[in-house]
């Protein structure tokens, strides 16, 4: 997708260092999953699962998704702080939702830490509603 010199495209391997940098400056970095190795596996499994937003060859935003026809997920809508407040996160999330909808998902979900007020406000503004309170548990699998 292109819009007024903004381009949304699938991520490429050479983008990984910038994506990790974006996640860190937006306080969204997840040490377990946000590595170049995991991103490479993610793209090999689903090339549409990481979208980037760029302008004049500079990546200023990203979103990761997990597609499942039953219930898909949006993770990491990250916009460089210099560009925040311009509606670019909404544009990027809309494109991610469009990709998931085109693949046939029935719903899109987002996981947000209760302390992440920015992400909570962002998702509420996009029409997401809080689900029944659940406890998300994680087990990191070591090789």
Show me where the domains of the chain are located: 2-125
Digit-by-digit pLDDT tens for the chain (143 residues) are: 556 688 999 999 999 999 999 999 999 999 999 999 999 999 999 999 999 999 999 999 999 999 999 989 998 999 999 999 999 999 999 999 999 999 999 899 887 778 888 888 888 889 888 876 677 777 788 87
Alpha-helix runs per DSSP H in 75-116:
88-103
DSSP class of 70: S
Q: Which CATH architecture has domain 2-125?
A: 3-Layer(aba) Sandwich (3.40)
Alpha-helix runs per DSSP H in 1-143:
16-25, 36-45, 88-103, 117-125
The token duo for 60 is 């200023």
- What integer pLDDT is reported at residue 3 of this predicted model? 61
- In this prediction the pTM is 0.87
DSSP class of 133: -
Q: Give 71-85 pLDDT, tens digit per residue.
A: 899 989 999 999 999
- What integer pLDDT is reported at residue 55 of this predicted model? 92
- What integer pLDDT is reported at residue 141 of this predicted model? 80
- What integer pLDDT is reported at residue 110 of this predicted model? 84
Among 28, 32, 36, 108, smallest CA distance to 67 is for 108
């Amino acid at each position: 997708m292109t819009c007024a010199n903004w381009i949304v495209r699938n991520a490429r391997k050479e983008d990984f260092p910038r994506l990790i940098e974006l996640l860190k400056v937006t306080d969204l970095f997840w040490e377990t999953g946000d590595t170049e190795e995991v991103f490479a596996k993610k793209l090999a499994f689903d090339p549409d699962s990481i979208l980037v937003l760029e302008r004049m060859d500079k990546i200023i935003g990203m979103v990761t998704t997990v597609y499942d026809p039953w219930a898909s997920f949006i993770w990491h809508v990250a916009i460089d702080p210099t560009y925040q407040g311009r509606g670019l996160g909404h544009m990027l999330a809309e494109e991610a939702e469009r990709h998931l909808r085109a693949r046939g998902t029935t719903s899109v979900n987002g996981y947000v830490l209760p302390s992440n007020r920015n992400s909570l406000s962002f998702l509420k503004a996009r029409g997401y509603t809080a689900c029944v309170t659940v406890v998300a548990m994680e087990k990191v699998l070591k090789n």
